[in-house]
Amino acid sequence: MQIGDIIRFLETLAPPSLQESYDNAGLLTGSAAWKCTDILVSLDATEEVILEAKQKGCNLVVAHHPIVFGGLKKITGKNYVERAVIASIKNDVALYAIHTNLDNVITGVNAKMAERLGLVNCKILQPKSGLLKKLFCFVPVSHAEFVRAAIFDAGGGHIGNYSECSFSAAGKGTFKAADGSNPFVGEIGKRHEEEELKIEVIFPAWQEHSILSAMIKAHPYEEVAYDVVSLDNRLQTTGSGLIGELPKPLIPNDFLQLLKDQFNLTVIKHTIPPAKSIHRVALCGGAGSFLTKTALASGADAYVTGDVKYHEFFDAENRLLLADIGHWESEQFTIDLLADHLQDKFPTFAVLKTAVKTNPVEYFK
């Protein structure tokens, strides 16, 4: 098994194209062609984690946070980033980061937070637009179902909780085969008219290559007529944050206690709770204060995130319980999420969870 095989699987969980523009997810050091020994999963790929991986026989560290965000002009070991890169290269330990792309999928970081709180009926808090495309292809009636099935098998036709979604319209296609062609129907040099269906299917933009390859392979024509257009529709399974419901409403103090217990917290920074019970809960792992107003507009009774600044607490408008549980604390169970996926997919590998607590923040009690 090569490291590239592990990466290809991880990219089915969180496609790289879903990372934010400022991010630097992906393979940061090492080679995808290396044979993988074992895998160590961590939230951060610090020097200590890399040395732990080496000591445990793992030559791949899968981390949520990229250790390298910007360009490195020098690598002299003067800071923690450079020391981690040196340790990685020196010990032949590859580093792979799966960051905001994992934040932006409905089954990612925020889903793990929601699971800890027992939330139900979860959906993306702020879905992204510009991620959907539509394929129009023109197929002879005799092969329409075969081509449609190939597109579905390649991942096309998903809309929310529905799969194999498409639309067809009947019409007549015309073409004249030139010398050197090998037409499926008709004669060379003569215009041919064929009963065809126009099939329309929506798909995520990052699946375009596989969708088109499957469609062309299944299509009987030598030259396939098709169109691909970009859509402004929001993709409801992709975006920032998550919102769901508690199985039963809780008074604010009981909700805060639930947070404290489920995330192993010693302290919670929060706004003055509004005089109502907590039922609808929005959340975002990491630094999520940019979503406070969205959470408020969504009708959430509470919003849980990290890294909230003083003035940002005012954005709750005394209508929302805004709880800052800490960056590391909100994302800590991402390690379990990744380890479980990797172990299920690669049961013959040792997938280990780091024993290093990389949280740089301490609380004096």
Q: Print burial letters for 266-292: b (CB count within 10 Å at least 16), e (below 16).
A: eebebbebbeeebbbbbbbbbebbebb
- Say if residue 324 carries a ligand binding annotation: no
HSE-CB for 154 with a 13 A CA cutoff: 26
Phi, psi of 207 (to 5 degrees): -100, 10
Q: Which residues contact 339 (CB under 8 A, 6 or more apart)?
A: 41, 351, 352, 353
Sheet holding 226-231, edge to edge: 167-176, 191-204, 132-140, 226-231
Q: In the 8-state DSSP scheme, what is residue 35?
A: B
- Say if residue 65 carries a ligand binding annotation: yes
Provide the pairing of β-strand 94-97 with 60-65: parallel
What is the DSSP track for 136-200? EEEEEGGGHHHHHHHHHHTT---BTTB-S--EEEEEEEEEEBPTT---SSS-BTSEEEEEEEEEE
User: Token pair for residue 112?
Assistant: 């793990």
- Say if residue 219 carries a ligand binding annotation: no
| Residue set of the binding site | 64-65, 103, 327, 331
| Residue set of the binding site for a divalent metal cation | 64-65, 103, 327, 331
